[in-house]
Structure 1
Amino acid sequence: MKIAQIAPLAERCPPSLYGGTERIVSYLTEELVRQGHDVTLFASGDSATRAELVPCCDMALRLDTRVRDPLPYYVMMLDRVMARAGSFDVLHFHIDMVHFPLLRRMPVRAVTTLHGRLDLPDLQPFYARFPHFPLVSVSTAQRAPMPPVNWAGTVHHGLPANLLASCANPRGDYLAFLGRISPEKRPDHAIEIAARAGLPLKIAAKIDKVDRDYWEDTIRPLVTAHSDVEYLGEIDEHEKAAFLGNARALLFPIDWPEPFGLVMIEAMACGTPVVAFACGSVPEVIEAGVSGYIVRSIDEAVAAVHRAATLPRAAVRAAFEARFTVERMAREYVRIYQSLADPGDADASEGESGELALA
């Protein structure tokens, strides 16, 4: 198939540091190429890919100090996509919603994977206005807040099997926290769990501008107050295997409707069990007593941390290989691409203005 992948521009594909959506787009793109598909990637110009790259900005927008407003770059990207839309069998969007009005005028199969939280009130009227375009969720839990829409499927994320090596004999008896410093990720809970469990905690996380005050006012004082807590900042892909693989467990103490939680399967790939709060996608990803433990309180988390050391790390890795490889993810997306209705079908829905709403 001739497939266009349209990635966010905040990070390169794959990201040099933090970046969940762009990382998944990169893994999917490279695996589709490996499986023999003709893939074009619309992404930032510093992206690295075996697909044809259409650069839509010079570099990842988050890292470009010249950029003040990302919207013009997305408009220019969509102009490039529209100019070539007819040459693809399917357009696969990963950029939330800005492209939806244009889909009415693109005579090509298109599907959108929603990577973020969907419980925000402003999203309800938006998706109610565009109920016909095929959507993919990254977990079943992610769908819960949505109005009736055209779900084409749910595809859990996947990683290349050789990306993160399994660590059978971890060298450090510490707990790991990986991701973002933000209130919904609850690094404060991670610090409390580690302190009560009597174990060191290593935090590898980025701090977005919007969360800078939360870091300064809440988390930095906690890090300073606990001598066994170490903040490492952002880490890259090469550092991630050692960071996760040598930990006793990954702490995932979220209290928000997590759409997927890529770090959970990254830890599993390293053979490291996950102790996660029962929010959002967690019960779909973690097999309790196999790849980790699902908890509902800090007390339960402390107890689970002690039990985590007894879980066979080979079984954790096996759970990853059985359910969360990129090969499986790519096959499921190809099935969705093949199932999409022909945009010329007579039963395609009419938009509010009478224009054809293409599937």
Structure 2
Amino acid sequence: MDYEEPLFFRVMRYAEAADRDVVDMVSGNPDWEPPAALRDGLREFADFDADEFQYGPSAGLTELRGEIAERRNVDPSQIVVTNGAGEANYLAMARALERDAGDGVLLTDPVYPYYPGKAQMLGGDVTLVPVAEGGEIDVEAMREAATEETALIVANTPNNPTGVVYSRETMEALVSLAEEVDALLVADEVYDHFDYTGEFESALTIDSENRIVTSAFSKSMAITGFRVGYAIFPESLVDAAKTRHMLVNVAGSNPAQYAVLQALRETEPEYYEETRSMLSDRIAAFTDALDEAGADYTRPEGAFYVLARFDGFPGTMANVERLIDEAGVAGMPGEAFGPARADWIRFALVTPRAQEAAKRLADYF
């Protein structure tokens, strides 16, 4: 999979140029309100003394790192607050590939396209390993693909685009595999607040020097534009990551970090519960319409994406454009996520028009 301009942008541009109304189900931009405490935090910061507008600690505001550390049961020194989960994953992947432990990278297929892009940019040799039919990682296939040159394994759970929540046994097996071949497992848990099974367990509960966990507040607080994420490293790996972060970014945004801190401290669990309930309703309505359309689909256990396959209508870029023009619904071509689900189309249920889009698809097919 060669890395070029992400297909996301091509699809969005095509949808924007369409001469009809189009329901955008392309990208994972939440459409709901952020926590009220986040807005309050921004207002508070605006009235701080001018010295608070200068550089903050490079690794992140001390209080924010402390709050994350307490919630994740780690030491604050292990945390780097980053420019979203994107930088968190970049730092983790760079740390894996700069250890002189090889340049092999094992990724799932289907895969979030930015993973192979980052890996290739960092000089990694990417191998896509197809998941099992239901979307669970095929651990044995991963083991067969691993070699002494494997330096990095990436697992995103809950998963984009399949919606699968990987079992604890799967994550333990991947950590064990990473230890066996001296690779690093990067567990991207950015969708951890969107678990509909009640069975998600963070990889932080698996103790290992070969495990890094990344996350962000972009999705859980509906603030993708704030770019506040974090990576949690073993003590032996964190210093080099902090140096790379400092050289690339100097430091993160103080007002964004402060607002997130206030939201963490003051937002009640009901905020997240209501969001999950709303998304569960959307998932039910959308998959009911897919049943009506005679489609195969993945029902999300987590995150907020649905992969669907329509008979005689493979998920190519050309067919995605056709769906925009003829049905007024924009999704992502399956080929963007790798060859294993190239016949499928991914829909992001982060629009209040998800039910309307579902009806359009049912009528069209």
Query: What TM-score do you get using the length of structure 1 for normalisation?
Result: 0.32
**Taking CA–CA contacts closer than 8 Å with sequence separation of 6 or more, which of the two structures ends up with the larger relative contact order?**
2
- Structure with the higher helix share, 1 or 2: 2
